[in-house]
Amino acid sequence: MSIENNKVVSIEYELKEKGGSDILDSNIGKEPLEYISGKQQIIPGLENRVAKMGVGDKEDIEVPSSEAYGEYNPDAIDDVPKEQFAGIDLEPGLPLFGQGENGQTIQVVVKDIKDDVVTIDYNHPLAGKDLVFTVSVLGVRDATADELSTGVVGGGHCSDGSCGCGS
């Protein structure tokens, strides 16, 4: 069995670091994660391995860091003036969300705080980590034309016009 591109895939998963016992993320007992196959909406190592599964299959999938969030880049750390964080109660380890150069949302982590400088780590929190997903494939269906054009499962339309579609 193999999942073709342009299918909506629904999965349930639990994520741990390879060799670790702590659950880093899970949607078990919650809404399934749905994505459109072949659209690079989830990490490549996971998508490539789920593509070989079928509905009802459950597997432990090991994903090396190179196929997940990449290797840890020690150069992706920067000192930023503390004044740019006015009104934020900063502490080391605090995740913050900002906007990248191309308008995409990026997550950074506060590494250190000095008098007037905040050290920010731009690496993804899971960069450099080999991961293990326990995945169950709950469903696979053809993506609709709306889903394929927007890249959003469910068509990507909102009811109040806030998505820019004019409702």
Find, among 31, 35, 143, the residue nearest to 48 by Cα. Answer: 35
Model pLDDT, residue 166: 42
User: What does the CA dihedral 64, 25, 73, 121 come to, rounded to 10 degrees?
Assistant: 180
Model pLDDT, residue 78: 94
pLDDT in tens, the chain (167 residues): 689 999 999 999 999 999 999 999 999 999 999 999 999 999 999 999 999 999 999 999 999 999 999 999 999 999 999 999 889 999 999 999 877 777 788 889 999 999 899 999 999 889 999 999 999 999 999 999 999 999 899 854 444 444 444 44
Query: pTM for the full model?
Result: 0.78
Model pLDDT, residue 163: 45
Say how far apart CA 19 and CA 127 lie, in whole Å: 16
Find, among 93, 125, 87, 119, the residue nearest to 106 by Cα. Answer: 125
Model pLDDT, residue 1: 63
Q: Residues 93, 64, 32, 154: is their CA dihedral positive or negative?
A: positive
Query: 77-121 in CATH: which number?
Result: 2.40.10.330
Model pLDDT, residue 162: 41
Domain boundaries along the sequence of the chain: 7-69+128-150, 77-121
CATH fold of the domain at 7-69+128-150: Chitinase A; domain 3 (3.10.50)
Residue type, 129: K
Model pLDDT, residue 35: 96
Model pLDDT, residue 82: 93
